[in-house]
Amino acid sequence: MYHLLKGLHEHLTRKEEFSVIIIGLDGAGKTTLLEKIKTTYNAIPGLSPDKIGPTVGQNTGSITLSSTILQFWDLGGQRGIRTIWHRYYGDCHAVVYVIDAEDRERLGEGWEVFDGVLSNPQILGVPLLLLANKQDSPQSLSVDEIRHDYEDWYQRKLESARRIRYGDGSNNEIAMRRERIASLDVMGVSALEGTGVRAAVDWLFIRVQNSRRDTKGNS
Ligand SMILES: Nc1nc2c(ncn2[C@@H]2O[C@H](COP(=O)(O)OP(=O)(O)OP(=O)(O)O)[C@@H](O)[C@H]2O)c(=O)[nH]1
Ligand SMILES: [Mg+2]
């Protein structure tokens, strides 16, 4: 009887856990974002921005929302560290790509890397959120400007691939990529000040729940 009740209690109080990876170029603000998420949702605050240095490897942190645990994996964005990102793709339930909306010089590099993420078959069906960070800065591009900048970059990439008759995948792949870009959610945040952080976490919470239902429905 004890074991039966214990099992029932465990079943009723069990929390579902989802993994979310946070990726993007070095300096985009991923760790600042993770620490702000911890401060916003947990009793123990995250690190203050002045205590954060470049990530060599990964940082983790989790938050609990009703019966759901979101486990975040903040992966270092330096060129050499990006090569390990793919190891996390197979097990993640959502991807957050952080772009530094203030650093216009590196937007092209950011899109090049983002494009590689977007076209990775392992995360094809995984919810993907593009965050335009540093919205507190007056120099930052807005959410709309960020979206257009990426669309323009992608169009230019397709055209130059055509010009050198190199091809950028089959028509089917291009159509799939276009669809993903069109349905891409872009949100503005300031990891430093916390603006937009709750909206981004709400998006993740809803999307991981929905995609779990999709998976169950498809199986
Ligand atoms: N103005 C402003 N600065 C920010 C914001 N978020 C991060 N920063 C600054 O950007 C710099 C890099 O932030 P990090 O969080 O270390 O960036 P990261 O993406 O984790 O970088 P790596 O660990 O090297 O991949 C720091 O100086 C932060 O204070 C923001 O929302 N606004
Ligand atoms: Mg970092």
The per-residue pLDDT for range 187-196, each reduced to its tens digit, is 999 999 999 9
Cβ of residue 59 lying under 6 Å from some atom of ligand 1? no
Mutational test site, ligand 1, from 136, 192, 195, 197, max ligand atoms within 8 Å of CB = 192
Q: At residue 165, does pLDDT exceed 70?
A: no
Can you give the pLDDT at residue 218? 47
- Annotated binding residue 202: no
List the beta bridge partners of residue 68: 16, 65
With CA atoms as reference, report the closest residue to 16 among 60, 69, 64.
Answer: 69
Ligand closest to CA 133 = 1
Q: At residue 217, does pLDDT exceed 50?
A: no
> Does CATH number 3.40.50.300 belong to domain 14-214?
yes
Q: Break the chain into its structural domains and give their ranges.
A: 14-214
Residues of the chain above pLDDT 70, percent: 92
DSSP string, 143-190: HHHHHHHHHHHHHHHHHHHHHTT---S-HHHHHHHHHHHHT-EEEE--
Amino acid (1-letter code) at residue 112: E
Can you give the pLDDT at residue 181? 82
Cβ of residue 127 lying under 6 Å from some atom of ligand 1? no
Q: Report whether 141 contacts 104 (CB < 8 A).
A: yes
Cβ of residue 61 lying under 6 Å from some atom of ligand 1? no
Can you give the pLDDT at residue 166? 55
* Buried/exposed 47-56: b ≥16 CB within 10 Å, e otherwise: beeeebeebe
- Annotated binding residue 77: yes
Can you give the pLDDT at residue 215? 57
Can you give the pLDDT at residue 167? 55
Q: Which residue's CA is minimally distant from atom 8 of ligand 1?
A: 29
The neighbour count for residue 128, using CB atoms within 10 Å, is 19
Task: Quote the CA–CA distance of 123 and 110 in Å, as a whole number.
Answer: 18
Can you give the pLDDT at residue 191? 98
Cβ of residue 58 lying under 6 Å from some atom of ligand 1? no
For helices 171-182 and 107-118, give the axis angle rounded to 10 degrees. 110
Banded pLDDT at 182 (limits 50, 70, 90): confident
CA angle (114 as vertex; 184, 68 as ends), nearest 5: 60
**140: helix, strand or coil:** coil
For the chain, give the longest Cα–Cα distance. 73
- Stretch 116-122: mean pLDDT: 91
